Amino acid sequence: MGATRTRNAVAAARGTANGRRNLIFVVAVAVIAAAVIGGVVYTRALADKPQAGGTYATTVRSDGTVVAGSASAKVTLDVYEDFLCPYCEHNLEIPYGKAVTKAIADGSLRVNYHLLDLLDNETTPAGYSLRAANAALAAAKAGRFAEFHEALYAQQPTEGQAGYTNDQLVDIGRKAGITGGQFADEVKAGTFDSEIKSQTDAAQNSVNFKGTPTVLSGDNQVDISKSDWLTHLTGAA
């Protein structure tokens, strides 16, 4: 049963073959005129300057959950993502990422981010999902999770490519405004690898987890295909 659940979760993260081909076409159109660096597509704007984005408080729990926003927020969500997951990018982050960031920053929303490595074997060589999630936890500790999270999805690698190296992830962090050496040390050491693997195992053993992205309000699945899901939850105009 565990193996079946893993296969189903990975399938949900990857989508069908036809859906993937359509998605690749959309991505290809979106990155016309982008520079190819190390076999991975960077958009020029993101490569040339620090990432913009809302700033909000984050803490990293001992289990690796990134908690973004105020404990007094009206709504708390649990969001499960993999930085290689195309549906996390196109169904959640592109249409709603900025609105989620704004809601966290203005105190109306709190998000528990669970960063997974479900697709860790889908890059060549394997390992990008884990590297990216580890770097994101390090960015959260450095106070730049919003900017780093946005940057990784804005320049998401494609399955089958190499994904970003640790040095490239450190550079993305620098452009996101992270200073000092601790971030680079944690990225290169894989400081949070065990927490990410535990998060992934826990997600796959949860009846509420339906692949990435999964967005939960309590034990209830949030239907992010409805364009008003966030305003419905937060009551924002």
Q: What is the CATH number of the domain that holds 135?
A: 3.40.30.10
At residue 18, the pLDDT reads 40
Q: How many CA atoms lie within 13 A of 9 on its CB side?
A: 29
Is 154:30 a contact under the CB 8 Å cutoff? no
pLDDT band of residue 207 (cuts 50, 70, 90) is: very high
State how far the Cα of 16 lies from the Cα of 21, in Å rounded to an integer: 9
Q: What is the mean pLDDT of the chain?
A: 83
Write down the pLDDT at residue 21: 38
Tens of pLDDT along 112-148? Answer: 999 999 999 999 999 999 999 999 999 999 999 999 9
- Host domain of residue 214: 2-234
Q: Which amino acid is at 197?
A: K
84, 202, 219, 145 alpha-carbon torsion, rounded to 10°: -50
The pTM of the full predicted model, rounded to 2 decimals, is 0.81
Task: Count the domains in the chain.
Answer: 1
pLDDT, tens digit, for every residue of 2-44? Answer: 444 554 555 556 543 344 434 333 333 333 333 333 434 333 2
Listed residue (154, 175, 117) closest to 41, CA to CA: 154
What's the pLDDT at 55? 74
Q: Are 147 and 50 in contact (CB under 8 A)?
A: yes
Q: How many distinct helices (H) and strands (E) make up the chain?
A: 11, 8
Alpha carbon distance 26, 216 (integer Å)? 27
